[in-house]
Chains A and B, each alone.
Chain A
Amino acid sequence: MGWYITKRGLLSVPMIVIISFLTFVLINLSPQDPAEVVLQAQGVPQITKELIAQTRAELGMDRPFLTRYFHWLTACLQLNFGNSYVTGEPVWALLGPAFSNTFKLTLVSVIAMIALSIVLGVMCALKEGGLMDQSVRGVSFFLTSMPSYLLAALMIWYFSVKLDLLPTSGMESYPSYVLPVTIIAVNYAGIYFRIVRSSMISNLHEDYVLYGRACGLPERKITIHMVRNSLQVAVSVFCMAVPIILGSTVVVENMFAWPGLGSLSVKAILSRDFPMIQAYVLVLAVSFVLFNTVSDMVNAAMNPRVRRDL
């Protein structure tokens, strides 16, 4: 297993380098002059040619492309993503807290989503075709197809304004987590519980279940076995849910004024804050690679055949 972890870990390094290069290239392909972008982002009322020339020199845009890339990559490895075009502050000083805020939201949401997916998936599988199965699937279909902003607005109106139970926005206290976490968890659980459910259903017809029942094993024990086997399929899906949620909180963060990566990325994109966009894309890409690696490792730990395949 140790060998597998090392090998799988090393394989992700070239992937990250390729992603970093693509990120840098894509941003540099933008038709806009970075110097002009900086000045627009800083809200300078009148952008003159002299000012553009001065800013280009300050940014070091006159150096060759590859030199700039290697300079940027080596700096990134030391968590130095450059300075924001808008505020002039180091990108990490802005990205760090936003990442931490989104990560907190993601973590709680993922835990809630996993719990909800397992509970609903198992319940629906055990009552396959029954009233509860059909109602859960119907409700989940309705909730997942409803736009997040609408669901958020309705929940804020009901729980915050009408019942006065929760804050409408912000992240100053624990109750601030309830509504955004519920929306994210419900949204994703509506998709992921189906995986648990179908996996459970296919397990229901496995020989070991029949054998267990024939041997007179208590139903509770058989269910536990089935859940354990079904979750093997779901583990990698759940692992990948972390970066997916991490990168898709824009609407929820916007609605709940959550100062996270989503809000930061929208702001950066609208103001063409390239160093911020580069860092955001890189951080997300790295987290995708990282969680993909972790998911493979977990799978390998549970299933020795995977280890041999690498």
Chain B
Amino acid sequence: MRRRWVTVITVIMVCAALLAGCGGTQTGSKESPKELVYASAKDINDMNPHVYTGSNPAQGVVYESLVENTEEGFKPLLAESWEISGDGKVYTFHLRKDVKFHDGEPFNAEAVKKNIEAVQRNAAKHAWIKLSTKIVSCNVIDTHTVQLVLSEAYYPALLELSFTRPYVFISPNHFKDGETKNGVNGYSGTGPYKLTEHKVDQYAVFEANEGYWGGAPKIKKLTAKVLPAGETTFLAMKKGEVNFLFTDDRGTDSIDVEAMTKLADSGGYQIVRSKPMNTKMIVANSSKTNSPVHETAVRQAIWHVIDRETISKQIFKGTEPAAYTLFSANVKYADVDLKKQGYDPEAAQKLLEQAGWVLGSGQEVRTKNGSKLSMKLYYDSNSSSQKTQAELIQHAAKKIGIQLELAGEQSTSIAKRRATGDYDLLFNQTWGLAYDPQSTIAAFTSDSSYLHTTKGIARANELYQKITQVTAAMDENVRKSLYADILRIVHEEAVFIPITNGSVTIVAPNTLQDIGFKQSQFELPFEKMHFQ
């Protein structure tokens, strides 16, 4: 009897081993020197570049814009050159003549017009991008010249035309009934890579566009592999099934700092970090009159109880430097001389005492006219680092008599609170390098973004006036001065309380060269990378 059972178990084990053995060739897909397989927590989704569901990095390699935003300023991309009329209302672009869409359709002024008009017909969805509200017409001058007419001067026009979406170009052959707002039936752009295969929630393959006007990329194949769990991503990297990863759309690393270090220590990988790309911060609701957060002194006190250096060293293991201003100095117009205010509980106590918030003997929470110095701080429940930071801040605040109640919620609920003004304090981050400062600052006036944050401050009207002026200012010095004023006002009012600067992290094979970044945290210049 026993022998029979032993036989059964042996047969099962042999079958399992055989089945496992069958996979040897399939699974051993170690990267060829010309291929990058990157881990992505999400599917690339709908690649229609005129809506917002698709993956930014994927769209970034398939589609291109007229101009490129670089550290040195705007450079030609699909437009070889451009002129701006004296009144700042007419932009004339001279297009490259050697560009074709992936489906063979020529890229010309007519294609630009069709694309821009399709975007404009879906204007409600693009309200965040102010250029969409200023475009009056897009006119074809000749086959390779196109003119964009604006209703008024708008200096960030070139910048917004350089974003990953929506002002990028897809072959008009893929339009549905002349539109893109109801979906497209193909994804041919002009970019260095073509989307050749997509298995939803599994992987997407991008092959080098050999006819790319900028020269065929050296890495011939990019594969985006969907790996939702960080543990699996780490193990897949160790095995070599995946050989590249980078910070996701939300600015979060898909594997933690220790795992990245382990990969680098194993000898096969390098870690590359970009310059600061955004600022992680706490947003204070100045317009909530029935909350202590309405007072400038209280907001400034909270600013002082945040130990940014400890957060940077302990929670982020030194990967995110402490931030003392809303934007880091590498953001255009943000290198402004603002008073550096750091962790200083004594200064915080002094501010509160002066404002009338007193700590009675035997009490833990300060009071003023019978009201408690108590506020609620919302954090993204999916972010482990935000919770830890919130706890650290709560502890420091408690020591000087500020009660912070913590509440973890989904990012969508937090966005809703921000839009409706139903919060005291919440974690947030700036829009990111290419979008900062102008998009983040434009959002100060938007009721779906930061209007509640800013409208309670004493100089709110002055702030909004300057924001309106800055986008129409054609003179560089005037712009600099206006931005400096705007940043000074929000800094002094402590409505955006900076914590750390986030950056893009890449983990890549040691042999990969020319790893770089763009002026955006959402995409990477894969076409410039190559193996040794």
Contacts and interface: CB of A to CB of B under 8 A. Distances in A.
Interface of A: 32, 36-37, 39-40, 42-48, 50-51, 54, 86-89, 94, 97-98, 119, 123, 126, 149, 152-153, 156-157, 159-161, 164-176, 178, 219, 254-257, 259, 263-264, 266-267, 270-272
Contacts of A89: 46
A153 B415 CA distance: 34
Interface string B114-147: 0000000000110111000000000000000000
A167 B23 CA distance: 8
Contacts of B19: 174-175, 178
B53 interface: yes
A266 B42 CA distance: 12
B227 A46 contact: no
B461 interface: no
B202 A257 contact: yes
A270 B228 CA distance: 13
Contacts of B129: 45
A219 B229 CA distance: 50
Contact of B229 (A126, A149, A157, A270): A149
Across the A-B interface, give the 5 residue pairs with the lowest CB-CB distance, nearest first: A175-B23, A46-B128, A259-B201, A43-B52, A167-B27
A168 B228 contact: no
A42 B52 contact: yes
B128 A87 contact: no
Contact of A86 (B22, B45, B124, B416): B45
Given A159-B20, A168-B241, A45 B128 contact: yes
B78 interface: no
A75 to B, nearest CB: 19
Given A86-B45, A156-B232, A254-B229, A51 B26 contact: no
B200 A51 contact: no
B194 to A, nearest CB: 21
A87 B46 contact: yes
Interface of B: 1, 5, 8, 16, 19-24, 26-28, 42, 45-46, 51-53, 124-125, 127-129, 182-183, 199-203, 225-229, 231-232, 235-236, 238-239, 241, 410, 412, 415-416, 419, 443, 446, 448-449
Nearest to A271: B412
A170 B229 CA distance: 12
Contacts of A168: 27, 232, 235-236, 239, 241
Given A51-B125, A156-B232, A257-B228, A165 B21 contact: yes
B8 A119 contact: yes
A170 B239 CA distance: 14
A51 B236 contact: no
23 contacts: A46-B443, A47-B448, A50-B124, A87-B53, A88-B182, A123-B5, A156-B231, A160-B27, A161-B235, A166-B20, A167-B23, A167-B26, A168-B232, A169-B225, A169-B227, A173-B26, A175-B26, A254-B229, A255-B229, A256-B232, A257-B227, A264-B201, A272-B412
B23 A174 contact: yes
B127 A48 contact: yes
A263 B201 contact: yes
A98 B28 CA distance: 26
Nearest to A163: B20
| Majority secondary structure of chain B interface residues (helix, strand, loop or mixed) | mixed
Contacts of A176: 23
Contacts of A173: 22-23, 26-27
A173 B26 CA distance: 7
A274 to B, nearest CB: 13
Contact of B53 (A43, A164, A166, A263): A43
B478 to A, nearest CB: 27
A225 B127 CA distance: 74
A169 B228 CA distance: 10
Given A168-B239, A271-B412, 11 more contacts: A97-B200, A98-B201, A153-B232, A156-B232, A159-B20, A164-B27, A175-B19, A219-B1, A255-B229, A257-B202, A272-B412
Contacts of A87: 45-46, 53
A40 B413 CA distance: 10
Contacts of A166: 20, 23, 27
Contacts of A47: 419, 448
A166 B17 CA distance: 10
A88 B316 CA distance: 38
A251 B241 CA distance: 21
B412 A40 contact: yes
A42 B23 contact: no
Given A36-B416, A170-B202, A259 B26 contact: no
A169 B20 contact: no
A156 B23 contact: no
Nearest to B181: A88
* Listed residue (A37, A42, A47) with the most chain B CB atoms within 10 angstroms of its CB: A47
Contacts of A40: 412, 415
A173 B24 CA distance: 10
A114 B61 CA distance: 48
B231 A149 contact: yes
A175 B15 CA distance: 12
Contacts of B416: 32, 36
B229 A86 contact: no
Contacts of B125: 39, 42, 44, 51
Given A166-B23, A259-B200, A263-B201, A44 B45 contact: no
Contact of B20 (A86, A126, A175): A175
A36 B418 CA distance: 14
B473 to A, nearest CB: 23
B291 to A, nearest CB: 22
Contacts of A37: 412
Nearest to A182: B16
B8 A45 contact: no
B228 A254 contact: yes
A126 to B, nearest CB: 8
A46 B127 contact: yes
Given A86-B53, A123-B5, A169-B236, A263 B26 contact: no
Contact of B448 (A46, A149, A172): A46
A274 B298 CA distance: 41
Contact of A46 (B23, B53, B228, B446): B446
Nearest to A94: B200
Nearest to A98: B201
A126 B52 CA distance: 62
Contacts of A271: 412
